[in-house]
């Protein structure tokens, strides 16, 4: 495949970092965005190919437009979008406040929507594009105490399917990966929250989360990145959601 211009959101750590490394290793130009400029610079220094650091909080109105404007000024239109930025929250539904609910929707659903809205026109005009959204197994099944997170991830999977249907004849594919518990800072934050509420020790909580995957361990970020790259390479797959959870959700 020829070198493409890529944008990875939430690229400063975890899955985003792993995806950026895989894309760069495959010969693509990779623009990195997240709020933490220092983390982005560290990832950029690891990439073997061209990198562009564009710090931003993509939940802010207009920020996605500014990020893509800067990429276009340097390299031209975004050809591969990996909408990875996301966060979780945990609380019983009855104790989930409006602010927490909105925060989950803003980052996990509205931000990917804005990224697609901004990048799809150039992809369809050029007759080639790839979009991969990092969703979650929470987009496929419901679990207790993560109502806001689950709703946002179910929503983004609907967005993926609708967008894929719109652009299927225009050389653009739109897909999602649905990881289980991945060995990332986000999972570490989940472990810390559970420990704070239950008094359990971190090792036992980590084992509980690992055991949710029939594989018996946390998923490695690079295992998600490999799946993302497979969607970039294959023009015949669109509107799909691939579970990466060691067999926990079979579909």
Nearest Cα to Cα of residue 81 among 67, 92, 93: 67
**Coil vs helix vs strand at 130:** strand
Helices 147-167 and 98-105: angle between axes, nearest 10 degrees: 30
φ/ψ of residue 241, rounded to 5: -130, 120
3-state helix, strand, coil in the chain (%, to 5): 50, 15, 35
Query: Mutual orientation of helices 185-198 and 202-211 as an angle, nearest 10°?
Result: 120
Q: Beta strands of 92-219 (E only): which ranges?
A: 129-134, 172-179
Tokens encoding 77 = 């239109």
Question: Contact, 90 vs 103, CB < 8 A?
Answer: no
From the candidates 149, 163, 210, 219, which is the catalytic residue? 149
Structure tokens at 109: 């659903």
Q: Helix and strand tally (H, E) in the chain? A: 9, 7
Rounded distance, CA 146 to CA 168, Å?
33
Residue 28: CB atoms within 10 A of its CB come to 22
Beta strands in the chain (DSSP E): 5-9, 29-33, 51-53, 80-83, 129-134, 172-179, 241-244
- Active site (annotated) includes residue 149: yes
Residues tagged active-site: 149
């Amino acid at each position: 495949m020829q070198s493409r211009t890529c944008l990875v959101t939430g690229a400063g750590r975890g899955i985003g970092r792993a995806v950026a490394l895989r894309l760069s290793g495959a010969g693509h130009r990779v623009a990195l965005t997240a709020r933490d400029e220092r983390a982005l610079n560290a990832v950029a220094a690891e990439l073997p190919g061209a990198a562009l650091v564009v710090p931003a909080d993509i939940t802010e109105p207009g920020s996605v437009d500014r990020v893509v404007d800067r990429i276009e000024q340097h390299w031209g239109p975004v050809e591969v979008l990996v909408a990875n930025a996301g966060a979780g929250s945990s609380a019983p539904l009855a104790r989930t406040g409006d602010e927490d609910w909105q925060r989950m929707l803003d980052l996990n659903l509205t931000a990917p929507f804005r990224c697609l809205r901004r990048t799809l026109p150039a992809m369809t005009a050029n007759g080639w594009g790839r979009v991969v959204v990092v969703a979650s197994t929470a987009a496929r099944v419901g679990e207790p105490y993560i109502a806001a997170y689950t709703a946002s991830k179910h929503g983004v999977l609907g967005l993926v399917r609708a967008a894929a249907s719109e652009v299927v004849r225009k050389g653009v594919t739109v897909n999602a990966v649905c990881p289980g518990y991945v060995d990332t800072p986000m999972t570490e934050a989940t472990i810390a929250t559970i420990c704070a509420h239950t008094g359990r020790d971190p090792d036992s909580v980590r084992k509980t989360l690992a055991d949710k995957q029939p594989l018996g361990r946390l998923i490695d970020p690079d295992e998600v990145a490999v799946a993302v790259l497979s969607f970039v390479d294959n023009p015949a797959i669109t509107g799909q959601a691939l579970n990466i959870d060691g067999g926990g959700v079979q579909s």
